[in-house]
Structure 1
């Protein structure tokens, strides 16, 4: 394994992204981007689908100031949930979580994750970014199921107030595309970006434009 391959830094507080990244079989360490996401996102005025990548880029800029980012390739990501092009953020409280889950019930929406890889080269920060969008259909869960899910605490740190991977709630009926994108880190997108810095993964990258043949997740094949 080369020195470059030993130099990944995942700047994320999300345990889900840490778990997903292990599937690439590339050594990495973890830090948290020193950024207030809510405050930063107040300055965004572009299209809704661009917010995730824009936020991931700001995370990369902030992380580049950390000592642990020195000589590292930094991976940052952000996920947004869009319902009728309206951004559904993380719930403010339990009542807001209930409102979000009811608004999504039985409906299609999109999950967009923006991914950025960056590194300082000769003192200059180089960034490469991309995003992936996955249509998701929620099942017609009941109000009682919503209440039980909220009581578990799981939805409170998630965009749209749900985690697709939750084994009890199982909120989705169908997805059209990348499952790992909905969880929060599309590995096909990340692998393509890492290639720009000479990082090669152990799996073949899927080039299917439909995005349904991810080599890292069987759920993407369903």
Structure 2
């Protein structure tokens, strides 16, 4: 029986895995994430791999049997610029002002590192979703930033919370914007862990 370990403390990723009916344990990575490539799709897959690899190496000596570590990373991209989590409220305001009344991309990379039958296996993939915002007033942005919600989120917003009222439309996987393309993950797990 395959044991699944999520290499993230993200409440949103935990919720999505639970919704999909996947039993898992949480073992967050504490690796120092470093973006080593400029291409956003490659960057998120690399960051996801860094997290999964960190946890995999820590667990190999202590876990018996088969297991899979799920690493994921999400970034927001506007005109080729990667927007991670804001450093402070001022940076959150800058990011959200820039995204107001415009379309941007959300990339999530997922890395699956498995031990099956004593052998090491890897699988990585990424998803991209386009998100368009309505024009957002400075007052609305200040009010949202004051909630603290943007501070732990790539691009300084969460699509599933109060900020949803500013989302004009999306093209692609909604859950990818939340932080985990759960349908694609489920399909990959079915392929690699029948």
TM over 0.5: yes
Worse overlay, 161-170 or 92-101: 161-170
Compute the TM-score of the two structures, normalised by the length of structure 2: 0.92
1:32 is aligned, of 22, 28, 31, to: 28
1:123 and 1:62, CA in 2 relative to 1: closer, same or farther beyond 3 A? farther
Q: Over aligned residues, Cα RMSD in angstroms?
A: 1.7
Are 1:49 and 2:45 matched, yes or no?
no
Q: Structure 1: where are the runs of 5+ without partners?
A: 200-222
Give the 3 Å change call, closer, same or farther, for CA 176–34 of structure 1 in structure 2. Answer: same
Give CA-to-partner distance per residue, 1:147-176, whole Å, 9 cap, x none: 111110000000000000113663311001
Q: Provide the secondary structure at the position in 2 that maps to 1:196.
A: helix
State whether structure 2 residue 3 is matched by structure 1 residue 11: no
Q: What is residue 161 of structure 2 aligned with on the other side?
A: 166
- Which segments of 5 or more consecutive residues in structure 2 lack a partner in the other structure? none
Question: Secondary structure at 1:91's aligned position in 2?
Answer: coil
Cα separation, 1, equivalents of 2:51 and 2:68: 13
CA gap of 1:123–1:35, structure 2 versus 1, over 3 A, is: farther
Aligned with 1:63 (options 52, 55, 71): 55
State how 1:169-188 maps to structure 2 within 5 Å. Answer: 170-188=165-183
* Deviations 1:74-130, CA, capped at 9 Å, x for gaps: 111100111011101110101000000000000000001111111134665311011
Greater RCO, CA 8 A, separation 6+: 2
Distance 2:103 2:128 in 1: 13
Asked whether the equivalents of residues 73 and 110 of structure 2 are also in contact (C-alpha less than 8 Å), the reply is: yes
- Contact preservation (8 Å) 1:145, 1:169: no
Question: Contact 1:52–1:80 at 8 Å: present in 2 too?
Answer: yes
Distance between the aligned counterparts of 2:92 and 2:129, measured in 1?
Answer: 21
Q: Partners of 2:38 and 2:152 in 1: how far apart?
A: 24
Distance across 2 between alignment mates of 1:102 and 1:18: 29
> Which whole-Å CA distance do the structure 2 matches of 1:22 and 1:122 have between them?
26
